[in-house]
């Protein structure tokens, strides 16, 4: 059994003309100007792109040829010579795998969205060892290991970034441009994990390629088995599926001196997605708004740019949510004052509902606000996207998106026809987020600080 990452068609892409395909890594690199990586799960977009970027940095390091309007031809001849490093199977060194492991696990454990265990009460049913995954999908699962692993029993640990941070990458229309826009300026590259096994301690300074490619699990794949069943991850029926693997902790990798080129940091701390189920705030609680000022502060660009922000919310070892936002940003639209307001948006919205006549509806108010949250968020997001693309961020425009909530709350909570009630209703309906008050409150609310 052989399966080579350079040649097998595991990589999902979409061409500029809208045609989707699964192609090999070599084909994707040779047509990088005509296609973009395409996966429904944003985890795969981040993980696969990160792998291709690491691979490109490595090719540049070895050949000396930089990317221009195409991937340099010498990268392909170099990769052809390195082919044995990218084998998933065989008796020699295998790609991102280790020998001598003993802990047997279902291979579906590589996929966050496929539930483990034999619990029938999931929306997506799966049985450990009874449901398999095709080889193409397995590659994507392996590539998630450096980026989206969390701690758990028995002794599993998160990856080099600790509990997965919020990731942000430049996400233009094609892969070639994405490599150029995300190319880090770091000088100390070192070697990727497929060349040398990672051997840094948590206090070491880690070279870029080692840090980008170190998986948070030691893995050894068992052979695929003939099967008529569908792959648990993609639903295709390739005739062979892998059911199990050996899967163990890679030890403590979290490293305080490591700065991930994709993670969003604020005051030197990586920001994490908050647990939207635990806080009960649902769509209101995606932290991308407050991140914009942090993200844009570090970005200097003259042309319009598209960024992809991905937050993976976890509750200890449990996976809670994965969210994504793609924003097109025009440099002229960035106004530092508005970005600061966005940072305190959640507080500001809370203050719009602070009218004293609503005090007696405390619980009802909270539940109504969370019910209306997703719609308000959708309107807000649409306006924010338009603002960042064209005419600059205008505060009134954005704060108006809160009107859906204030209008419904004023009607639902203050029924009746007296002139006092009608006056209060009008006041609530027309109230807009109060930035002044939220700014006085030091450092935003407790939830924004938590990370």
Footprint of Zn ion (CB under 5 A): 134, 137, 231, 233-234
Check the CA dihedral 56-186-451-441 and report its sign. negative
Residue with Cβ nearer Zn ion (105 or 136): 136
Output 15-24 pairs: Cβ under 8 A, ≥24 positions apart.
16/173, 16/174, 22/136
Q: How far apart are CA 34 and CA 437, in angstroms?
A: 49
Residue with Cβ nearer Zn ion (3 or 284): 3
Residue with Cβ nearer Zn ion (138 or 428): 138
Q: Output the smallest distance, CB 106 to Zn ion, in A.
A: 15
Q: Output the smallest distance, CB 233 to Zn ion, in A.
A: 5
Q: How far apart are CA 114 and CA 130, in angstroms?
A: 13
Residue with Cβ nearer Zn ion (137 or 145): 137
Q: Output the smallest distance, CB 26 to Zn ion, in A.
A: 20
Residue with Cβ nearer Zn ion (107 or 206): 107
Residue with Cβ nearer Zn ion (9 or 392): 9
Q: Output the smallest distance, CB 313 to Zn ion, in A.
A: 25
- Tell me the β-bridge partners of 21: 13
CA angle 335, 337, 339 (to 5 degrees): 70
How many CB atoms sit inside 10 A of residue 30's CB?
Answer: 16
Residue with Cβ nearer Zn ion (115 or 373): 115
Residues 6+ apart with CB under 8 A from 444: 290, 343, 344, 346, 347, 438
Q: Output the smallest distance, CB 151 to Zn ion, in A.
A: 27
Question: Where in 33-112 does DSSP place strands (E)?
Answer: 35-37, 104-106
CA distances, 84 to each of 24, 81, 194, 213, 437 (Å): 16, 8, 10, 18, 62
Residue with Cβ nearer Zn ion (134 or 308): 134
Q: Output the smallest distance, CB 7 to Zn ion, in A.
A: 17
Q: Output the smallest distance, CB 225 to Zn ion, in A.
A: 14
Q: Using DSSP bridges, classify how beta strands 305-315 and 167-170 pair: parallel, antiparallel or unpaired.
A: antiparallel
Q: Output the smallest distance, CB 124 to Zn ion, in A.
A: 14
11 touches 29 (CB < 8 A)? no
365 touches 350 (CB < 8 A)? no
Residue with Cβ nearer Zn ion (1 or 317): 1
Q: Using DSSP bridges, classify how beta strands 217-221 and 318-329 pair: parallel, antiparallel or unpaired.
A: unpaired
Q: Output the smallest distance, CB 37 to Zn ion, in A.
A: 16
Conformational region of residue 37, where left means phi above 0, alpha means psi within -120 to 50, and beta covers everything else: beta
Residue with Cβ nearer Zn ion (227 or 304): 227
Q: Which of 172, 197, 255, 212 is nearest to 53 (CA)?
A: 212
Q: Output the smallest distance, CB 35 to Zn ion, in A.
A: 20
Q: How far apart are CA 71 and CA 67, in angstroms?
A: 5
Q: Output the smallest distance, CB 232 to Zn ion, in A.
A: 7
Q: How far apart are CA 435 and CA 215, in angstroms?
A: 43
- The rounded radius of gyration (Å) of the Cα atoms in the chain is 24
How many CB atoms sit inside 10 A of residue 303's CB?
Answer: 8
Residue with Cβ nearer Zn ion (38 or 234): 234
Residue in the structure block whose two tokens are 């609680």: 285
């Amino acid at each position: 059994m052989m399966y080579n990452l350079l040649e097998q068609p595991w990589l999902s892409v979409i061409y500029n003309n809208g045609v989707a395909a699964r192609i090999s890594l070599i084909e994707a690199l040779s047509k990088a100007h005509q296609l973009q990586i395409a996966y429904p799960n944003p985890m795969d977009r981040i993980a696969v792109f990160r792998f291709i970027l690491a691979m490109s940095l490595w090719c540049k390091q070895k050949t000396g040829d930089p990317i221009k309007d195409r991937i340099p031809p010498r990268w392909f001849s170099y990769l052809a010579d390195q082919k044995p490093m990218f084998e998933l199977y065989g008796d020699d060194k295998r790609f991102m795998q280790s020998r001598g492991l003993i802990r047997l696990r279902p291979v579906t454990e590589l996929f966050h969205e496929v539930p483990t265990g034999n619990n029938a009460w999931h929306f997506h049913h799966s049985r450990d060892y009874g449901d398999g995954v095709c080889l193409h999908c397995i590659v994507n699962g392996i590539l998630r290991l450096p980026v989206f692993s969390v701690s758990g029993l028995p002794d599993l640990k998160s990856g080099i970034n600790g509990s997965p941070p919020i990731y942000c990458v430049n996400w233009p229309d094609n892969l070639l441009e994405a490599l150029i826009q995300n190319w880090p300026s770091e000088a100390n590259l070192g070697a990727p994990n497929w060349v040398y096994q990672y051997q840094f301690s948590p206090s070491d300074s880690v070279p870029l390629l080692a840090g980008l490619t170190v998986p948070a699990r030691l893995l050894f794949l068992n052979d695929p088995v003939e099967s008529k069943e569908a792959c648990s991850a993609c639903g295709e029926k390739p005739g062979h599926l892998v059911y199990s693997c050996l899967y163990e902790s890679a030890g403590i990798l979290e490293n305080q001196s490591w700065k991930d080129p994709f993670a969003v940091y604020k005051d030197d701390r990586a920001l994490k997605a908050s647990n939207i189920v635990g806080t009960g705030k649902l769509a209101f609680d995606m932290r991308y708004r407050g991140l914009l000022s942090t993200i844009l502060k570090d970005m200097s660009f003259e042309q319009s740019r598209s960024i992809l922000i991905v937050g993976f919310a976890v509750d200890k070892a449990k996976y809670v949510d994965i969210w994504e936002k793609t924003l097109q940003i025009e440099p002229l639209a960035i106004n530092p004052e508005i970005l600061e307001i966005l940072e305190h948006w959640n507080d500001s919205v809370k203050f719009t509902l602070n009218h004293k006549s609503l005090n007696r509806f405390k619980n009802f108010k909270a539940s109504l606000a969370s019910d209306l949250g997703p719609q308000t968020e959708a309107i807000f997001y649409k306006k924010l996207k338009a603002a960042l693309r064209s005419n600059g961020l205008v505060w009134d425009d954005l704060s108006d998106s809160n009107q859906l909530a204030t209008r419904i709350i004023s009607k639902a909570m203050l029924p009746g026809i007296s002139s006092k009630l009608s006056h209060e209703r009008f006041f609530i309906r027309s109230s807009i987020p109060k930035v002044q008050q939220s700014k006085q409150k030091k450092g935003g609310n407790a939830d924004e600080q938590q990370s």
